[in-house]
A and B are shown apart, each in its own frame.
Chain A
């Protein structure tokens, strides 16, 4: 038992380790911002399943890059952009989108497994693409991750208002002359980029913990247009940085720590959200009831 906990949590030489992975911690925090922000729109646009689909093709792209010996971030970006555009263009309606994702997902995963099987390098690299890695991110890749993350954050900042409008009511936005289709394609590109950077650290199988769970948790406790993205970012950064710090000592990948923190935050938010909604419901219902009673 002591062995188990020793593997999961190990804080020997912790100070030195933190310095070693300093860059990864910054990258993790940046990824938290990306995931927390884009998650708010993933939830509103009902793209949770699509995120999973994109990540599997991103995984295929990354493993192809690994096999060919080219930049893995580049490979995963190409894979996820391709998937995001396919899903965005072919799956305009929710039902169509779900079938397209369901068709693409196993194909991507299968391709990825094929490429990994052919790859003869370190097994840690292989496994890392699926379940996350952190130390193996070298400086060149880190630079690319940071650049892509900044592109996503800036892109979201520029489209925030029309994207919110189009997400809550595409018909009205279209009637007002907004380029709803172009906005949707642009969003899918940003989503593809966000997935591509996320799988480098949390792994293809676990991106939802970064791109969906924090936003879903925030939406349980608030519906404010400012607090929702703020809390979502806060939750995602806490999960990412917390996960990296906890994983440091042991020999385990960071993803179980990230997903567990993320999940715990969600649980807490559900409990708070339930209390909150009961209170607000009773507040909003009672005057309506009173008004129905004839004076």
Chain B
């Protein structure tokens, strides 16, 4: 973990989020430094996505504060790059891969999408840096899941954000592309010294790059390195039931977590947080 010598990119203080009288998390404190990679793990319905929405200013905290670069969060920010999960794009969507990337640079500007030579060069550079030059001119609907996620990484980093928010960006990719896309995100955060908040139900593809883990379960949370948090005692305590964390060939498998966390999924390659 990098030493906190500079003011944090993201600072969450005594944050509590409840829906009705059900608290998702209570008293969350978190400082994220530039270049730091935080994985947010936990079963469904524990407020992983709500945490991202809070950082994006789309979800009000019940109490506490969230600050981005020292200022309270607003609705969306150009300092944030956002990578959503892969989704099906309609056939005929009149956009090429490079247009999606251009949106990351000037999508907020009014007017017709007429691009200057400077913008085209900038887009070319981003395409090259995410290894997508070959299909920059392809229609977005013809991209494979892995290609599309590469473009989304490119779109997210194109505006040189200080913080990357990733909402299950590896979902529905095969193992090969999961690896390629997560490596790409890791490479970019190192190059740009961007802080990363990575929400995922499966920590394994990113295990080697994670600095800290925020684990949400049972209305509680734990923050620490993967070795500190992903342990049988910690998870058993959080779930209030015996849970076993097994490490095998560099992967982590959680056995016995109630309500979905690994329990219903017998695929040993995955730490499942439940179906999406």
Contacts and interface: CB of A to CB of B under 8 A. Distances in A.
Interface of A: 40, 43-44, 157-162, 164-165, 168-169, 171-178, 216, 219-220, 222-225, 227-229, 280-281, 284, 288
Contacts of B89: 168
Contact of B107 (A161, A220, A228): A161
Contacts of B106: 161
A157 B111 contact: yes
Given A44-B93, A165-B103, A225-B96, A176 B109 contact: no
8 tightest Cβ-Cβ pairs between the two chains A and B:
A219-B92, A223-B139, A177-B76, A175-B82, A228-B94, A165-B107, A165-B103, A161-B113
Given A177-B76, A225-B96, 14 more contacts: A44-B90, A161-B106, A164-B99, A165-B103, A168-B93, A171-B82, A172-B155, A173-B103, A176-B76, A178-B107, A223-B95, A228-B92, A281-B142, A284-B142
17 contacts: A157-B112, A159-B110, A161-B106, A161-B111, A162-B107, A164-B113, A168-B103, A169-B84, A174-B75, A177-B78, A177-B108, A219-B92, A223-B139, A224-B96, A225-B99, A280-B142, A281-B142
A212 to B, nearest CB: 12
Contacts of B247: none
B140 to A, nearest CB: 7
Max count, chain A CB within 10 A of own CB: residue among B80, B107, B152: B107
Question: Main SS of chain B's interface residues?
Answer: loop
Contacts of B165: 175
A137 to B, nearest CB: 30
A172 B82 contact: yes
Interface string B139-173: 11110100000001001100100000100000000
Contacts, number: 113
Contacts of B77: 175-177
Interface in B76-129: 76-78, 80, 82, 84, 89-96, 99-100, 103-104, 106-113
Q: Is the interface of A mostly helix, strand, loop or mixed?
A: helix
Interface of B: 56, 58, 74-78, 80, 82, 84, 89-96, 99-100, 103-104, 106-113, 138-142, 144, 152, 155-156, 159, 165
A44 B82 contact: no
